[in-house]
Structure 1
């Protein structure tokens, strides 16, 4: 697998390799184009803090210019995915804030979801154990979700007196599981086990806990080996077409596909098909 070739005149403004990034508030590793973010506070079931929210927002935003990252895995340490916002480091302090500060915080958490959706790389969530509150949102905002039978996914906002309309849940969750099921999940705050979440369509499939991360990374590697420019276009269209009429979507997809037809990946795929060989995609 090679990085996309970028004209040197453009590289300074369009490329920022991220393999060497040193994360402060979670684990970060890149191997053969697949990046893995590991929420790593296992003693507390990997909750988020103000600092980890902000670093996630900025790192995910930077992936728009990272030619060395072609797919992303999001996971948690110690047999759990993420328990949401830390009760002591986020929930408690929020009670002391005024409206402008609270709005700044909720806009920041929303910016994490926006960055997840706008980065061109496919994102695979590997969900084991507890996946609650903002953790459930991170899984929801990923492109693909692998779970385990022992996973427990809950949108807990009503349990603390808040609305279910948090971080895009009312926009995205109905599109994944349907309006009726999303309504039940957000109104009740109940936890779904892995098998039920898979039946609802939240998980793409279930894995054995000990194989979950390897399965997620294998799926991400498969995506990373594909046509990354075209994958990014697919992700953009999946996101943008929520707000389009069919006519608008058809025109947008016509333009997107025409751009993909100009890529070297498209030409290489044709040449490989004619030669009865496996295509080699380089993202250009």
Structure 2
């Protein structure tokens, strides 16, 4: 699969000028996920590792909502009939989607409007940058359906974004987090009016795509890898990573542009 040219079955995809947009597209149900869409999204983000022409990703939803989580009839109902091996196969697959988002080198920008709950909240959480409309409602509502809050990496990733106490509140209560709370807590990077949300996400993505994309991929890799490093190990890892980036043409381009008093034009190599 080449994401740049792939035509997906279970979501919309557009690509231009280095920026790809993934749009969840079941607006009549507020864009829920199914077994099939989980799997296709997982495979799609995995393939981005091998697609350097894609430099940034926008993840959004159609029809004024982001994602209402797992489809009640197409996922939740069948799960109640499965045995343990089947359930574990499903939960590992959903976790693999988060891994794929985190491990693709392209920064992922979630542009969120309206409902963003359950697995939808996880998709926003797994993204690198998050912007939301002022009416966005986000809930990690797993305990409201009799499940633990530890879903798809939530107990590892969410506390790193908003802190242990606030993450505990959302995961134990399953309550909705308002957009204002989310911005104040650091979950949202910015709140943007709904009519301007995709336009602003496009500006952010274009800025990333115009940057040193090889180096941006290294930054994302190190942000992931340094979660469980000691400070000495992290400093050494960054020394090695930066030395690699210093061998790129983009580094030389930036130097030549500085000497010439020009703006550097990066090419990602």
User: Is the shorter-chain TM-score for this pair beyond 0.5, marking a shared fold?
Assistant: yes
Alpha-carbon distance between aligned partners in 2 of 1:205 and 1:19, rounded to the nearest angstrom = 28
Alpha-carbon distance between aligned partners in 2 of 1:221 and 1:32, rounded to the nearest angstrom = 8
TM, length-normalised to structure 2: 0.99
Root-mean-square deviation (Å): 0.7
SS in 1 for 2:110: strand
Alpha-carbon distance between aligned partners in 2 of 1:101 and 1:151, rounded to the nearest angstrom = 33
Per the TM alignment, residue 112 of structure 1 is displaced from its structure 2 partner at its CA by: 0.2
- For residue 122 of structure 1, the aligned residue among 107, 111, 117 is 107
Per the TM alignment, residue 213 of structure 1 is displaced from its structure 2 partner at its CA by: 0.8
Counterparts of residues 214-253 of structure 1 (less than 5 Å): 214-253=199-238
Q: Is the CA contact (8 Å cut-off) linking 1:38 and 1:77 kept in structure 2?
A: yes
Q: Aligned residue for 1:262?
A: 247
Q: Aligned residue for 1:132?
A: 117
Counterparts of residues 1-284 of structure 1 (less than 5 Å): 17-284=2-269
Alpha-carbon distance between aligned partners in 2 of 1:186 and 1:18, rounded to the nearest angstrom = 34
SS in 2 for 1:88: helix
Alpha-carbon distance between aligned partners in 1 of 2:235 and 2:70, rounded to the nearest angstrom = 40
Q: Is the CA contact (8 Å cut-off) linking 2:139 and 2:175 kept in structure 1?
A: yes
TM, length-normalised to structure 1: 0.94
Query: Deviation per CA, 1:26-62, whole angstroms, max 9, x where unpaired?
Result: 0011010000000000000000000000000000000
Gap regions ≥5 residues in structure 2: none
Per the TM alignment, residue 148 of structure 1 is displaced from its structure 2 partner at its CA by: 1.1
Alpha-carbon distance between aligned partners in 2 of 1:208 and 1:74, rounded to the nearest angstrom = 17
Query: Deviation per CA, 1:111-167, whole angstroms, max 9, x where unpaired?
Result: 000000000000000010000000000000000000111000000100010000000
Q: Is the CA contact (8 Å cut-off) linking 1:83 and 1:130 kept in structure 2?
A: yes
SS in 2 for 1:159: helix
